[in-house]
Amino acid sequence: MTTRRSIPFGLMLQGAGSHMNAWRHPSNPPDASINLDFAIGIARKAEAAGITFAFVADGLYINEKSIPHFLNRFEPLTVLSALAVATKKIGLAGTISTSYSEPFTVARQLASLDAISGGRAGWNVVTTPLEGTAKNFGKAHPDHELRYEIADEYLDVVQGLWDSWDDDAFVRDRATGRFFDRDKLHTLDHHGRFFQVAGPLNIQRSPQGQPVIFQAGSSDTGIGLAGKYADAVFTHSPSLDETAAFTRRVKQSAIEHGRQAGDVKIFPGVGPIVGRTAAEAEDKYQAIRNLLTIDEALAYLGRYFDHHDFTQYALDAPFPELGELGRNSFRSTTDRIKADAKQKGLSLRETALAVATPRPNFIGTAEHVADELIRWHDAGAGDGFILGFPVQAQGVDDFVELVIPVLEARGRYSRDLPGATLRDHLGLPRKASRHAAPGASQEPAAEAHA
């Protein structure tokens, strides 16, 4: 796991960036989350630089207090299909909820995206934590455990539908009039606890066997689901040690489900801020902090403390005493905020700004950031990284122009993607059909399509 080799990177396509007010940053168009030319430009730049996949996150519920770029953004399947034509090699992954969709429809749309993109589709399976979502779909929001039970059956159905047709089922012999081989059609006929789905799917098998399954759950149940199904997992990256421990847990879960550690690739999310000097990187971070008004930062802080109104306190006085407030829902976060403020003697203003714009793990010169990424990677904190920049345009430019050349100089990056499909890019074998003879899964996609 710690040999010296190329580090793969994915890239979040999240409009203006991960910072809640990234739209205000001068490097971005203010309408970035709904600007197709911007999305295409970023995806092409990433592709040219050898980034292995672009990733579109999603949500199904907003209200007027939502983060601005969540209010108005593309739906993942449509924008990914558009990007499939605008790009040639980069993988294209997006979020779809198993709690608020139909497996037949989703299996089909992802298979269609995979066909359109020549085998570059990935699906980030989420169960939707946000309870308000239920109000857009006229049903009760399932609780956490139930959501994961639904997701488990849902994935089984989708993967079954994806194997409806063997790879060579469509013979299309004009001379004889034989369009398909009946022996290579598999009708699912699923009768489960949550889903009844007859099948078959009305689209051929994927160029990569099946689209890639991404997963991001960090609870025990989420890790169990990832171990069972996921080809790739996103995770937070609070520290090297915690990320390495998470990596080991997911791989252990895969092994417990009869798979191998290498069958699931872990991608910690990172948002490097890079400067030509450490001071320049620090200036960029401060500029991002300043995208937020102090009122917005106070409101953001308030979300962790039961929507407590922080405007009642003096901004430049020490962080107020809050007693038990905030210990009900986000206890570990609010305990940390209180402790930090006390220990460092921070004012309310300083605390709110630091919470709303957390300092990234990776900040400094390109050499420093590259070396840190290599150090994490060599220590087993993931199999690659997914880049989620606080400010998209600046973040991508700096990473591509400054950090990638250093990684290349260190022999730890290649701009050449070896195969054609997302599974190829991730170093995963082509997915075998559940109806195939044993051993077929070891055949790489590039060979299977030669």
Binding site for a second copy (CB under 8 A): 21, 23-24, 26, 30-31, 34, 36, 40, 59-64, 68, 70-75, 77-86, 100-102, 104-105, 108-109, 111-113, 115-116, 132, 135-138, 165, 170, 172, 174, 177, 179-180, 182, 185, 187, 195-200, 202-204, 293, 296
CB of 180 within 8 A of CB of 190? Answer: no
Least distance to a second copy, CB of residue 129, Å: 16
Structure tokens at 9: 């990177």
- Nearer to a second copy (CB atom), residue 30 or residue 380: 30
- Nearer to a second copy (CB atom), residue 82 or residue 261: 82
Least distance to a second copy, CB of residue 318, Å: 27
Least distance to a second copy, CB of residue 443, Å: 22
- Nearer to a second copy (CB atom), residue 62 or residue 446: 62
Q: Angle 84-230-44 (CA atoms, 0-180°, nearest 5)? A: 25
Cα–Cα distance between 4 and 377 in angstroms, integer? Answer: 9
- Nearer to a second copy (CB atom), residue 82 or residue 446: 82
Structure tokens at 191: 């009768």
Least distance to a second copy, CB of residue 126, Å: 14
CB of 148 within 8 A of CB of 127? Answer: yes
| Residue 22 DSSP class | G
Pairing of strands 170-173, 178-180: antiparallel
Least distance to a second copy, CB of residue 364, Å: 28
- Nearer to a second copy (CB atom), residue 196 or residue 219: 196
Amino acid symbol at 262: G
Of 423, 405, 421, residue with least CA distance to 413: 405
CB of 76 within 8 A of CB of 59? Answer: no
- Nearer to a second copy (CB atom), residue 30 or residue 444: 30
Least distance to a second copy, CB of residue 27, Å: 12
Of 421, 388, 387, 391, residue with least CA distance to 404: 387
Asked if omega into 68 is within 30° of 0 (cis), the reply is no
Q: Angle 92-62-133 (CA atoms, 0-180°, nearest 5)? A: 80
Residues 6+ apart with CB under 8 A from 393: 16, 17, 25, 27, 28, 29, 32, 38, 42
- Nearer to a second copy (CB atom), residue 82 or residue 379: 82
Least distance to a second copy, CB of residue 78, Å: 4
